[in-house]
Amino acid sequence: QVQFVESGGGQVQPGGSLRLSCAASGIPFTLHHWAWHRQAPGKQRELVATISEGGRPMYARTVEGRFSISRDNSKKTVSLEMNNLKAEDTGIYYCNIYPTGDDWGQGTQVIVSS
């Protein structure tokens, strides 16, 4: 059974930082590219960042220079380091393989507010 468990969200002030983590199971971790998505209130889910099998990252223009995606193949985890957070980064963050599979975790909520 494929399972993604996201953690690390919380509430921070603008300019703050958070580190999200995703633990994957039931899937051959090293054979996939991975991604973080987010869904803001009232909006569709959007792609935030991806990381290839070889560790090459790519970012949405809205987060480039502020977010950093990484993977640990030995632990089967994908992380997202988020710095200089803005109010528009608020949302529920999800990890998934890339291209996106059918299974989704519960996500972890990020609230950026003063």
Per-residue pLDDT reduced to its tens digit, 11-40 = 999 999 999 999 999 999 999 999 999 999
User: What is the C-alpha separation between 52 and 48, in angstroms, rounded?
Assistant: 14
User: Rounded to whole angstroms, how far apart are CA atoms 17 and 39?
Assistant: 18
pLDDT digits 0-9 by tens, 35-91: 999 999 999 999 999 999 999 999 999 999 999 999 999 999 999 999 999 999 999
Q: Are 19 and 10 in contact (CB under 8 A)?
A: no
| CA 34/CA 55 separation, integer angstroms | 9
Q: Is 1 exposed, middle or buried, given 0-12, 13-18 or 19+ CB atoms closer than 10 A?
A: exposed
Question: What is the distance between the alpha carbons of residues 24 and 44, in angstroms, rounded to a whole number?
Answer: 23
